Structure formats: C-alpha cells, structure tokens
Amino acid sequence: MCVCVCVCVCVINVIAYQVNQEQPPDDELKSPTQKEIERIMSENLHGGDIKNMRILSYRNKAPGAPDGFLNPLKVVYSHSKAPASVKRISRYIPQTPDRILDAPDIMDDYYLNLIDWSPNNILAVALGANMYLWNAGTGKIQQLLTLEGSDYVCSVSWIQEGSSLAVGTSMGVVQLWDCSSLRQIRAMGGHSARVSSLSWNSYILSSGSRSGQIIHHDVRQRDHCVAELSCHTQEVCGLKWSPDGRYLASGGNDNMLYIWSAVAGQAYSEPQPLHALSSHQAAVKALAWCPWQPNILASGGGTADRCIRFWNCNTGSCFNVIDTKSQVCALQWSTTYKEFISGHGYANNQLVIWKYPSMTKVTELTGHTARVLHLAMSPDGTTVLSAGADETLRLWKCFAPDPVKKKKETTDSKATISLFHGIR
Amino acid sequence: MASTEQETKGSVTLKGSSDLVKEYLDYGINSILYQRGIYPAETFVPAEHFGITMYMSTDEKIKSFLKSVLEQIRDWLCQKKMQKVSLIISNSATKEVLERWDFKVQYEGDGNATESGKTVGNKDFTLIQKEIRSVLRQISGTVSFLPLLDCLCTFDLQVYTVTDCEVPQEWDETQPCFIANAQEMPLRTFSTSLHRVETHVSYKAE
C-alpha cells in the first residue's frame, strides 16, 4: 500500500518534470539576441514593451451591427473600382512603337493642334514656324512652308478629300495650301488672336482662336467669312465636325463644351449652340466623334478634370464618364475595333486603349517621356501616331486587323473570285 | 490681442487636458463608427463640436459602453497611467480583426506646478481645438483609401496601461489584437501641451 502511493507520487513528479522540461521558463534559455529581437518586435507591434503594459478592456461589450445590415459604403467603393481593371484581351497589341520619328522644336502647348494625317496618307506636322509633310507610304519628307518673324503654326487640318491643307498661324491668319503643288492658294483673316483649332466640313473651314471666337470660312467665296460664333470666353482648343456634318463640337479653356448644329442644307452651323455642356472641370481639348454612331462625342478634360465624357448630342446628355487619373490631351476612335485611344500627360505620359461601350482598359502604351500632345490615325485605321512633348512622333500599330479574321476575309474574297471564274 | 493671449495662456490643467482627450476620443470613435459604415447611418445624429459637424451614435448600448469606458480612460489620463487606446474593428462572425485605430498618448512636459500643486499647460485653447479639428477631418477623409468593411462588424476598445495600474471592476485583462498583413497609416498628431495624442490606423492590405 505504502509502496504503491510512493510510486504514484514518483510518476506525478516525473510528469511534472517532463512538462517543465518541455516548456522551460522563457527568459532562462533564450539568448540575449533573441530577447532583443522579441523586444524590438514587441515595440513595433505594441508601440512599447508589452511586459511593462497591461491591456484592459471593458467587460460589457458594445453590441454588433443589426442583422442584415449592409455597409452603405459598398456602393461608393464598388463604383470607384470599376475602371481601374485591365481586361484581358485576345488580340496582340505591340507594346512598343512601330517607328519613332524626331520632331525637333514641336511646341509643347496643350492648346495647339499641330498634326494631321490625310486620307492620301500624308502626315502634316508643324514644328515651330515650319510645316513639314511626311509621306507615310514612301517616307519622303517635304517642307511646305516657313513662317517669318516670330510667327508660328498653331493648327493644321487636312480637307476631307483632296490635297488642300489649312494652316492656322499665331498672327490669326488661316492659310490654305495645295499640297500637290506645294503652293499657297489663299490667306483668310478675321481672327484677332492665334488660330489654335481648325476643322473642315465639306467646303466650310471652321477655325477657333485664342479670343474664343469661332469663324466659319467658305473657302470658295471671296467673302469667306460666313458666320461667327462667340460663346467661348477663352481659347478654343478643340474643334471637330461630326463625320456626317450635322454637328460641330467646340471645347475651350473656359472649361465649356458647346455643340452646334449645322444650318439646314448648309455646311456651317447656327450662331447659337444647341447644347452648352459645363461638366468638365478643366480645358476641353480632346474631342472625337464616334465613327459608327455619328451622334456620339467623346471629350476629355485637362489636368484639373482628368475625365473622358461621352455625350449623346441628340439629347445633350452625358451617358458615361471615365476618370482617367491623368490629363487627357487627345482622343481617337478606332475604325477597326469598337475601341478608342486616349493620350495622357502626367504621371505616365501614356496612351490608353479602351473598349467601348464597356469602358474597360484594353492596354496602356508607354514610352513617351513627356506628355502626349496630339494623336492622329492613319487612313487605313491600323496605326495611331502620337506626338509627344519629348519631341518625338511615335507610330503604334495598335489597331491592326486580327490576322485570323483578315485571312478569313481574303479567303472569302478569293472564293467569290473563283465563283466568278466558275460562272465564266 | 496681447491681453487675451495672456488670459488664455496656461489655462489647460491636467484635468482639463484629460477631458479634451476624452472628448477627442468620443467624437473620433463615433466618427469612425459612422464613416466606416459599421452601424446603420440612421442611428447617428449630427453634432457640432470643435467647430465641425460630426455624427454621433444614438444607440443606447453604444452610448453607455463608450461613456463607461471613456470615463475610466479620463481617470487614467489624469493619473498618467494610460499609454494607448486601440479601437478594434472585427468581423462579428469570424472574429477576424479587420482594422485597428491606435490612439497613443504621451505625457508631455511637467507643466508648471501652481501653488495648489496642479500641473498646468501653456497652450492656447483655440490652437488645441484647431489641431483636434484637423485630425478629426483626417479621420473622415480616410474613407477614400481604407478598404471596404464588407461584413457585419463589431468594435471593442482596448486600453494599454502601465503595469501598476489597478484593474477596476468590470474590466478584464486581454490579449493584444493584430491584423495579418497590415498596412499602417499615421494621421496628424495633436497636443494639449500635457497630452500628446498620435492617431494611427492599421488595416488589412488587400
């Protein structure tokens, strides 16, 4: 009996010893460095040595939120997250430019419009006082004109068909050039300040100036000035006729966007705007009409705004808006895909391709080391040219047709040809 | 101008300073509960204090909880025993800690001992209010970067005190709460010249 008790006590002692061995007192077996690490970690985590602190909490806790309660911020958060995602795409878009051209002395001025690509595949580029023509097919460069004194080119625009080029100058003169013979056809005055934007609608050339004035010139007439629009209070930096010639959009440094409707049966617009749109918080330079829906306009705002807005010009309503987080300098729609491309300034100086109408990002093209000032589309719709303030012109082959689809089209056309042969 | 400065200077006593810190905590915690959408917005009413409008809970249980805790905190502040208050926001179903707001308190200067033995600060009251106001504004502004609390949440307050602090009735010792993979963001600091309060928010990085 006695022995038995003794054994029991022994066993308990052994167990107790083993337990002690397995969990030795913290401080004895730890090296000084280990203790130091623990102390530093504790300081980082608790903002002080936890051993010198007591953590207390009140016993009667606060109640939880009622059942079924939904955080009201959910709407706010989910809304702001949408445009940031980059959607996976199936087609290949080269991330580097196809070609880089030098554009020395290109003016780093947000309000000017210095490049235009003609349907005849000739690119007009204004570099300071000089105007150059670059034949994109042959690579041939011609100098069209040099302005004298301190005069410089502020805007260029090709006529929709033909080889006429309109050039707006800092003296307020609009020159008309025939580029097949490299001759000036006429000069048209009327503006009191520099002509920073131009847009053609058939035989009407509309020009916007720093004074805020827009003039419609009928280039066929001796008295070329057919109408004047004076709604803008500051420089008109964006001016675009819609592809069907029904609407003119004008954006100014007064943060206003006006839509003007064409006079019935004429190519110039009414003197009063159809819509006055004041949603942009900064200058509206980037304007682009949708090629497949002629009443849809995309407009982009400057640094304080950073938004691209989409307007239905029949109703004057803004049906979509993207916050791009960067100054919008230029916009172009793709004619190949249901997409559009935007050119940006600070911080990444990137081009962004967006899907329409989902407004998801397709890809970003980076490479410019200063802001992207202008965008132009090649006549075949495959290539976008971006002019940057880093004095380079970059050609991006980002809208090349899908090779698979293209193949199908060519085989289709071959099939029809062979069909004709068969009939013969 | 000089005369009014003279009057307001040195007007902050340790008790008054503790009251200010308590008020800051009260409005700050209520603001967080409202701005982070932890409780329904309709249970809050606007209240103007420190020159700005904030939202305060009208839920009796929350009010009495905050009242008891903050009264105790004020006492500890007076005794210089409290070092930190943590507002823990956790998922009520899984108990996972989602967000932690730390209000660290440092005791500044010995103050000027007056004849009665009280310590007095020398900071202008309006300046203190201005500092507190800017922190409270920042708390409201944090909504723009903090991740959405997309679940039912509860909150708790943990008070870090010195070791020789007595545990009052209805109070328990607990373990500190951590957030796995946390991001920390310091907010502005204010000082009453006796208490210096740093505010930090830690949240789960996405």
Nearest to A62 among B62, B72, B152 (CB): B62
pLDDT at residue B144, rounded to an integer = 65
For A202-243, the pLDDT digits (tens) are 999 999 999 999 999 999 999 999 999 998 988 999 999 999
pLDDT at residue B53, rounded to an integer = 72
Whether chain B has a CB inside 8 Å of the CB on A53: the answer is yes
Residue A242 domain flag: yes
Smallest CA–CA distance from B62 into chain A, residue: A62
Region B182-188 average pLDDT: 88
Residue A163 domain flag: yes
Chain B: closest CA distance from residue A70 (Å): 7
In the structure, what pLDDT confidence band is assigned to residue A417 with cuts at 50, 70 and 90?
very low
User: In terms of residue numbers, what domain contains A295?
Assistant: 99-402
Chain B: closest CA distance from residue A308 (Å): 22
For A284-311, the pLDDT digits (tens) are 999 999 999 989 999 998 887 788 999 9
Q: Best mutation site among B25, B34, B39 for testing chain A: the one with the most A CBs within 10 Å?
A: B39
Nearest to B83 among A53, A65, A78 (CB): A53
Minimum mean pLDDT range among A1-5, A208-212, A341-345, B91-95: A1-5
For A130-180, the pLDDT digits (tens) are 999 999 999 999 999 999 999 999 999 999 988 999 999 999 999 999 999
Smallest CA–CA distance from B160 into chain A, residue: A55
pLDDT at residue A412, rounded to an integer = 52
Inter-chain CB proximity B173 and A60 less than 8 Å = no
Q: Which percentage of chain A shows pLDDT scores above 90?
A: 56
Region B182-186 average pLDDT: 87
Chain A: closest CA distance from residue B69 (Å): 7
Pairing outcome for strands B112-113 and B44-49: unpaired
**Cα A339 from Cα A330, distance rounded (Å):** 14
pLDDT at residue B5, rounded to an integer = 42
Average pLDDT, chain A: 83
Q: Best mutation site among B36, B159, B198 for testing chain A: the one with the most A CBs within 10 Å?
A: B159
Residue A117 domain flag: yes
More confident residue, B49 or A70: B49
Residue A87 domain flag: no
Inter-chain CB proximity B39 and A69 less than 8 Å = yes
Inter-chain CB proximity B39 and A48 less than 8 Å = no
Nearest to A73 among B68, B148, B175 (CB): B148
Residue A171 domain flag: yes
pLDDT at residue A83, rounded to an integer = 45
Inter-chain CB proximity A65 and B68 less than 8 Å = no
In the structure, what pLDDT confidence band is assigned to residue A36 with cuts at 50, 70 and 90?
confident
Contact residues, chain A, for B165 at CB < 8 Å: 54, 56
Inter-chain CB proximity B175 and A72 less than 8 Å = no
pLDDT at residue A11, rounded to an integer = 40
For B93-126, the pLDDT digits (tens) are 888 899 999 999 998 876 555 545 567 777 888 8
Q: What is the dihedral of CA A324, A328, A333, A337, to 10 degrees?
A: -30
Q: Best mutation site among B80, B152, B173 for testing chain A: the one with the most A CBs within 10 Å?
A: B152
pLDDT at residue B89, rounded to an integer = 92
Inter-chain CB proximity B157 and A60 less than 8 Å = no
Query: Is a pLDDT exceeding 70 seen at residue B179?
Result: yes
Residue A199 domain flag: yes
In the structure, what pLDDT confidence band is assigned to residue A49 with cuts at 50, 70 and 90?
low
Chain A: closest CA distance from residue B166 (Å): 10
pLDDT at residue B151, rounded to an integer = 85
Structurally, chain A folds into a number of domains equal to: 1
Average pLDDT, chain B: 83
Query: Is a pLDDT exceeding 80 seen at residue A272?
Result: yes
Contact residues, chain B, for A42 at CB < 8 Å: none
More confident residue, B4 or B98: B98
Query: Is a pLDDT exceeding 60 seen at residue A200?
Result: yes
Query: Is a pLDDT exceeding 90 seen at residue A113?
Result: yes
More confident residue, A343 or A59: A343
Domain boundaries, chain B: 10-164+189-204
pLDDT at residue A45, rounded to an integer = 64
Inter-chain CB proximity B83 and A45 less than 8 Å = no
Nearest to A57 among B83, B172, B178 (CB): B172
Region B35-43 average pLDDT: 85
Inter-chain CB proximity A64 and B40 less than 8 Å = no
Inter-chain CB proximity A56 and B38 less than 8 Å = no
**Cα A196 from Cα A114, distance rounded (Å):** 9
Whether chain B has a CB inside 8 Å of the CB on A56: the answer is yes
Inter-chain CB proximity A56 and B148 less than 8 Å = no
Chain B: closest CA distance from residue A68 (Å): 8
Whether chain B has a CB inside 8 Å of the CB on A57: the answer is yes
Whether chain B has a CB inside 8 Å of the CB on A71: the answer is yes
Q: Which percentage of chain B shows pLDDT scores above 70?
A: 88
More confident residue, A206 or B35: A206
Q: What is the ipTM of this complex?
A: 0.77
pLDDT at residue B45, rounded to an integer = 87
Q: Which CATH number fits domain B10-164+189-204: 3.30.70.980, 1.10.1040.10, 1.10.2020.10, 3.30.900.10?
A: 3.30.900.10
pLDDT at residue A31, rounded to an integer = 77
CATH of the domain at A134: 2.130.10.10
pLDDT at residue B180, rounded to an integer = 80
Query: For chains A and B, what is the number of CB pairs under 8 angstroms?
Result: 118
Query: Is a pLDDT exceeding 80 seen at residue A403?
Result: no
In the structure, what pLDDT confidence band is assigned to residue A79 with cuts at 50, 70 and 90?
very low
Residue A120 domain flag: yes
pLDDT at residue B178, rounded to an integer = 83
